[in-house]
Amino acid sequence: MAGCNWIVKRLFIFVMLIGALALCGKAVPYSHAQAPTTFEVASVRLSPPGGNGLTSFNYLGTTRFTATNISLPLLLQLAFGVDDYQILQKPSWSDSTLYDVSAKPEGETSLTYEQLKPLLQQLLEQRFHLTVHHETKYFKGYALLVAKGGPKLQTSKGEANHNANILPNGLQGQNLSLQDLASLLSHPVGRPVVDKTGIQGSYDFKLDYSPNESTDSPLPSIFTALTEQLGLKLETQQVPVNMLVIDHVDREPTEN
């Protein structure tokens, strides 16, 4: 675990949002056949100096992806669906160099997150000459298991959309798998969580817990809440984690 920071050093809220956005369905998504394969128009520039430094990004409910003061690691997190600790061999400049991005695919329909990811990967390859490879490493984390007494899961009502919300005192999800739940749990527990329940299917979740060990809260810890409310438990284990290794990336993007 040395050198691995399980709490993202900057913009932790955005990392939590990535996990939630990855599971969110959109009201008017492209069909699989219509999904664009590239951005029709894309602008990638170094952020001008003297700004407020506030990072923001958006694609929900719009026909384009926009980002302001965004770092390369955060772009990689969005493009590959990973957390900051999963990115290896980051250049020394990567956290402090910021970019403004505006990119629009063909058509006038909003993208789902899963459709956005390959477009961002292609954009990084074209503008930053990014090359990467993947490795598997084992870290101290948690296995999601069935607790004594069996699971207490609510089968999904069958909605087409997948939704997830990480709240201050809990999390909610609709039409999610146990793998999705494990991914969500990794944020509040601060370590990777791998589903080992063996349970298939889609479920609706509502988990209420105290975000810390404060005795002032009437809510249970997340570990107790999992067992009492969902019939599941977390067990400390060495778990496999997919790592994104940067082989090459340019600091300055090519011209628009």
Beta-carbon neighbour count of residue 95 at 10 Å? 15
Q: What is the pLDDT of residue 230?
A: 97
Mean pLDDT for each 10-residue chunk of the chain (256 residues)? 33 42 40 65 92 79 86 95 92 96 85 86 97 96 96 83 79 90 89 94 93 75 96 96 96 91
pLDDT score of 34 = 60
φ/ψ (deg, to 5) at 184: -65, -40
Q: List the one residue out of 247, 211, 244, 191 whose CA is nearest residue 74.
A: 244
- Please tell me whether residue 105 adopts helix, strand or coil conformation: strand
- The pLDDT score that the predictor gives to residue 11 is 36
CA distance 78 to 65: 11
Q: Quick one: pLDDT at residue 83?
A: 86
How high is the pLDDT of residue 61? 65
In the chain, what is the straight-line distance between the N-terminal and C-terminal CA atoms, in Å? Answer: 40
DSSP 9: S
Interatomic CA distance for residues 170 and 143, integer angstroms: 19
Domain map (residue ranges) of the chain: 12-132, 137-241
Q: For the whole model, what pTM was predicted?
A: 0.72
pLDDT, residue 15, reads: 40
CA dist., res. 145 & res. 221, Å (int): 17
The residues facing 45 across adjacent strands are 100
The whole-number pLDDT of residue 13 equals 38
Helices 72-80/113-128 angle, 10° precision: 140
